[in-house]
Structure 1
Amino acid sequence: MIDPLSSLPGYVLSRAAAASLTELNRGLAKFGLRHSDVSLLILVEVNPKLTQSDAGKLLDIQRANMVPLVARLLDRSLISKEPVDGRSQGLLLTGKGKKLLREVKAVVDHHERELELSIPERLRPHLLPILNALWDSIRSK
């Protein structure tokens, strides 16, 4: 069967991303998490007191979608909120969140290694620069 879509970079990138995220989400399911949850936990770990709004901007998640994401993590006591100024609240990892994130990072690290190993060695150095160039190009529009 001929797949005319396989010559379209955007289509192939979308399919590769979907397949990769599906695989990652399988590994995260045992923790009751999805990649978006883990992305937020990692951001909060590195940026304590990051506001929900700033996290949404970094993750390119609409405000309406950030609310339930943050609520899920708050409900599980993985993050907490702390005032950062008169109106804003920053997100912090709880002890429980830090512990779970250590376990989850092992799954993410394994997934990333497997993803990298699936690419021919001679092409690996080019993967992130190409993906970042695409991303930067789209974000600057």
Structure 2
Amino acid sequence: MADDVTDPLEIRPGYQLKRAAAAAMSDLNDRLSVLDLRQVDASVMLMIQAEPNVIASHIGRVLDIKSANMVPLLRRLEERGLIEKVPLDGKSHGLHLTAAGETIMIEANAILDRFETDLMERIPAEHREHLAPALRAIWHSDT
């Protein structure tokens, strides 16, 4: 009888988006857990990989991570030997991947690529090219 219960929220796009994002991020975190990484760790490391010497505040702005949360996140990655701080000027430090960080990112990028492929394959082919622009329209509507 419980299977007959309808979900009145299912018709609401915001609810659908929330559920889809939660399911996708849960899947991604499960996949990254084999590297003892979370999605946020991989995102930060991708930013550092793409832009060596990037400063923490820039990563925080791009990924919408508060400074109070960024400090322990970076400390954890640094303690694992995956990133290092490099002095840029008198007060700023750039971030670099260590050799261990570069190695783990080879595996993380493979996991991310497979995740993205699997995610897109779940979407009907006729909707795939519209998904990213539609999500960006929602995401960037307040800027």
Larger Rg: 2
Residue of 34, 47, 50 corresponding to 1:46: 50
Q: Is 1:64 equivalent to 2:68 in the alignment? A: yes
* Count of matched residue positions in the alignment of Structure 1 and Structure 2: 139
Which one of 106, 109, 115 corresponds to residue 105 of structure 1? 109
Partner residue, 1:125: 129
Q: 2:6 is matched by which residue type in structure 1?
A: I
Unaligned runs of 5+ in 1: none
> CA offsets, 1:9-39, max 9 Å, x none?
1111111111101001111111110000000
CA distance in structure 2 between the partners assigned to 1:42 and 1:91 by the alignment = 11
1:53-94 CA deviation, whole Å, 9 max, x = no partner? 110001001111111110110001100001122211111011
Give the aligned CA root-mean-square deviation in angstroms.
0.8
TM-score, normalised with respect to structure 1: 0.96
Q: Distance in 2 between matches of 1:85 and 1:6?
A: 53
Amino acid at match of 2:89: D
SS in 2 for 1:97: helix
Runs of 5+ unmatched residues, structure 2: none
Instruction: Give the letter for the 1:45 counterpart.
Output: Q
Instruction: Return the letter of the residue paired with 2:69.
Output: N
Measured against aligned partners, the alpha-carbon deviations of 1:69-126 in whole angstroms (never above 9, x if no partner) come to: 1011000110000112221111101111001100111111111100000000000000
Q: Distance in 2 between matches of 1:44 and 1:23?
A: 23
Quote the Cα distance in structure 2 between the aligned partners of 1:111 and 1:92.
Answer: 25
Aligned position for 2:10: 6
- TM-score, length basis structure 2: 0.94
Q: Deviation at 1:2?
A: 1.4
Q: Structure 1: which 4+ aligned runs deviate by more than 4 Å?
A: none
